[in-house]
Amino acid sequence: MTAAIVLSAGLGTRLAPLTDELAKPLMPVGDRPVLAHVVTAISEAGIATIVANTHHRSGDFTQPIARLNAKVHLVHEPRILGTAGGVANAASVLGDGSVLIWNGDIIAPDLDLAAVLAADERASADTLWVVEPTARGAGTVGLDDDGRVVRLRGERFGDETTGGDFLGIQVMSDDLRRTLPREGCLVADVTLPLLRRGGRVASFLYRGDWDDIGQPSSLLRANLRWLERQQLAAWSAGGAVVEGGAALERSLVGEGAVVSGAGILRECVVFPGARVTAPASRRLFGARASLDVA
């Protein structure tokens, strides 16, 4: 293992208008942005070279990256290249060898990344996907007895014994990396053609919590799960202000945010720098925009 890339160039349209003011991988989960959680996990697994590709609101990344305890190389895409193109475009920074690819909107706090890397060493596969197991026929992928992916996007490549959901985290071999297109999708333009020609996609089964924070309900859920892991009823950053008439219930308030008014914020996430008037329930508050969560 030589390097890792956190795919961070997406537009985040499902989180608009919050993503009009903050890039999706920088959305807060607990006391840090999603990207910080991911980079910490990668760094603790012993990977020193970490890349994040950027496109939408690329200027947002500089300050959060500077706060991390790991060096992250930013590779900007003036024109969005897709997931496969993003990895290919970063080849000169990533260097040779297999690469960990982690979608920048995925948080998986219980994932043993060292175990994933060890499984990849044993698998002798073109790529290894992290998969949450489900019932046979369910989920985004199907696996055979050996844990190989044999169902993807409606196509079948062998006998399925269990289903699964792909987390958007994989370890790709150097050989497969060399085939990546300059633009395109890792699933449609790389993995499906690989399976059609008989290539091997191995799996690592993961049974812990994980969230794709790319939609309001899952971003809120990721924050509530963070509170539960910390055994907290609510949380506010040291520089936040919660005025006397307001109270927090299963809510989080970021650095520099202000909560005024009289009443309870219930299951809300207040982004750094936002100003909110209580009461409110199940809402995400950015500095200028907000979203209700159904």
For 108-160, write each residue's pLDDT tens digit: 999 999 999 999 999 999 999 999 999 999 999 999 999 999 999 999 999 99
* Residue 84 resides in a domain: yes
* Residue 208 resides in a domain: yes
* Residue 217 resides in a domain: no
Rounded Cα gap, residues 22 and 232, in angstroms: 26
Q: Are strands 290-292 and 283-285 parallel, antiparallel or unpaired?
A: antiparallel
The alpha helices in 75-112, defined as continuous H runs, are: 82-89, 91-94
Query: Can you give the residue range of the structural domain that contains 108?
Result: 3-212
For 120, phi then psi, to 5°, come to: -65, -40
* Residue 172 resides in a domain: yes
Regarding whether 178 and 145 lie in a shared domain, the answer is yes
User: Does 279 sit behind a cis peptide bond, omega within 30 degrees of 0 on the bond before it?
Assistant: yes
Regarding whether 137 and 96 lie in a shared domain, the answer is yes
pLDDT for the residue 2: 79
Regarding whether 184 and 275 lie in a shared domain, the answer is no
pLDDT band at residue 69 using 50, 70 and 90 as cut-offs = confident
Q: How many domains, the chain?
A: 2
Among the three residues 212, 241, 275, which one is the final residue of a domain in this structure?
212
Regarding whether 191 and 139 lie in a shared domain, the answer is yes
Residues 6 or more apart from 78 whose CB is under 8 A from it? 55
pLDDT band at residue 180 using 50, 70 and 90 as cut-offs = very high
Rounded Cα gap, residues 89 and 67, in angstroms: 25
pLDDT for the residue 235: 98
Regarding whether 198 and 152 lie in a shared domain, the answer is yes
pLDDT for the residue 241: 98
* Residue 228 resides in a domain: no
Regarding whether 259 and 156 lie in a shared domain, the answer is no
Rounded Cα gap, residues 278 and 288, in angstroms: 16
Regarding whether 243 and 203 lie in a shared domain, the answer is no
The alpha helices in 19-156, defined as continuous H runs, are: 34-44, 62-66, 82-89, 91-94, 113-123
Write down the pTM of the prediction: 0.96
Residue 72 has pLDDT above 90, yes or no: yes
CATH label of the domain that carries residue 146: 3.90.550.10
Nearest to 93 by CA among 21, 4, 170: 4
pLDDT in tens, 234-293: 999 999 999 999 999 999 999 999 999 999 999 999 999 999 999 999 999 999 999 999
111, 38 in Cβ contact below 8 A? no
222, 208 in Cβ contact below 8 A? no
Degrees (nearest 5) of the Cα angle 39, 232, 28? 35
| DSSP state letters, 260-286 | EEEEEEES-EE-TT-EEEEEEESEEE-
Regarding whether 153 and 71 lie in a shared domain, the answer is yes
163, 138 in Cβ contact below 8 A? yes
Regarding whether 80 and 34 lie in a shared domain, the answer is yes
pLDDT mean over 193-197: 98
pLDDT mean over 53-74: 95
* Residue 287 resides in a domain: yes
Among the three residues 156, 177, 212, which one is the final residue of a domain in this structure?
212
Rounded Cα gap, residues 163 and 151, in angstroms: 8
% of the chain residues with pLDDT over 90: 99
* Residue 224 resides in a domain: no
pLDDT for the residue 1: 63
